[in-house]
Chains A and B, each alone.
Chain A
């Protein structure tokens, strides 16, 4: 009998220990707060570039989480990304003239939306619109004053093809996203070397929805983040004519080696960085100054 009791007690201890471990794992090591789906209200904000911002990324005020990104869409006909922010009902006193800024947590960290409070006396309500926004600053842009973005790929429902010539495509490969203002609008369908001009011809399939891209737009090859894959960024021009199937983008910006850029801006010749996932290739603009 006493034998039985000790089994029961020991087993009970085991079960309690197991559940304690589960509770510990679930609450102390996870973003249990992140998955909290209480009452919330939605506001939208338009960004020129959402960079690596993803759906369900946190929305923070003064570094404290108040909600999450509900959706990221590209407004058809405009080169701005429409971001819907779902904010916890508790935090219903966000001034209407607050600024939404896309921040990166650390160099490799994910991006999030930070809200900087304004001074207005009226507050944001459901369906509200935030007019003041600050977009993400791609590393290349900060370093080289270029334009560009990042984001996630999507492409269904027909596409049209345009081509562009680059002197150096780095590690760009077929299937890489084509982005405008940071949102994906298509993908790279073909990469081949031009035997005559001795450069690379990149064919891009762009979703038919985005048929109002000016035909003098520029194409540039960027890297998402420090060690991410490369993509083609389209920077809209000012022409009244839109791109059509088979058009060629004349203005191009080839892939730039991060090491070179850093080398240009920092001390000469410090090309020690062997990280960056080896996106070296033949005719790169070797570290000149």
Chain B
């Protein structure tokens, strides 16, 4: 009896949380026009959220590309199809690995820091101080971080994909001896701008960027203003973003492809 009640509470609680998150998104969206006054703050956040994530994104992109090159070379060599290495690396990266891995890294690197930062601003009354200085914290603190995440994700994803292809090229062509021309021509023949780069890469990463940023600012803004609260909120950001990204990935793949 009480267990059933507990389940219902979990369900109702999660639904309520999603509802609150949606309402919060509405508040952010209505605050975005006002946040254009704080365009400098958006630029500053873009630096922290985007440019500061470049190192990890580039490193991981390179290694993912190298692993893909290695794995695909060995699998494709069974069928004598190593010439397809380039196109399969590119397609795998554009359609799935690029957006998803970038999103997961972004949630870990930028999402958590946004949550922790906003959570600590709340815990140290900085949010309340802004309210008291007649500055809307949604417009000044939340919206710029949300926008920065939205802008940064596709850009990071492009950088990730570029490095992946470089990594795949490095392994397949320079180390394993796939012909350079075949690698590129096969890739250019099979990758479509609209299907793979725009739908696969840009749209997915835009949606992922928006979702991760929303979860991060929401968790930070609504966290209880204590050290445990901030710690929990940071964890929840990673967990919720990862689940949301992977679930949305399926939905987006089904709709966009």
Contacts and interface: CB of A to CB of B under 8 A. Distances in A.
B92 to A, nearest CB: 13
Contact of A4 (B40, B90, B161, B191): B40
Interface residues of A, number: 31
Given A7-B47, A106-B83, A21 B158 contact: yes
A24 B79 contact: no
A93 interface: no
Interface stretch (B132-140, B193-201, B234-242): B193-201
A14 B153 CA distance: 12
Q: Which of A4, A10, A21, A30 has the most CB of B within 10 A?
A: A30
Contacts of B83: 106, 108
A34 B195 CA distance: 12
Contacts of B159: 17-18, 21
Contact of B46 (A14, A25, A26, A106): A14
A31 B54 contact: no
Contacts of A110: 189
Chain B: interface size category: 35 or more
A105 B190 CA distance: 12
A96 to B, nearest CB: 29
A226 B158 CA distance: 35
Interface in B59-82: 78-81
A13 B94 CA distance: 23
Interface in A6-60: 7-8, 10-11, 13-15, 17-19, 21-22, 24-26, 28-32, 34-35
Interface in B11-51: 40, 43-44, 46-47, 50-51
B190 A31 contact: yes
Contacts of B196: 30
Contacts of A266: none
Contacts of A2: none
B162 A35 contact: no
Q: Which of A7, A13, A18, A106 has the most CB of B within 10 A?
A: A18
A275 B78 CA distance: 7
B50 A29 contact: no
A227 interface: yes
A29 B191 contact: yes
B84 interface: yes
A107 interface: yes
B79 A108 contact: yes
Contacts of A10: 47, 51
A25 B201 contact: yes
Given A26-B193, A29-B187, A21 B79 contact: no
A26 B197 contact: yes
A74 to B, nearest CB: 27
Nearest to A108: B81
Nearest to B160: A21
Given A10-B51, A35-B194, A24 B162 contact: yes
B155 interface: yes
B127 interface: no
B7 interface: no
Given A26-B193, A30-B188, A34-B189, 8 more contacts: A4-B40, A14-B155, A15-B151, A18-B159, A19-B155, A31-B188, A35-B192, A226-B79
Which 9 interchain pairs have the tightest Cβ spacing? A18-B155, A21-B158, A14-B51, A30-B191, A22-B158, A21-B162, A11-B47, A7-B47, A21-B159
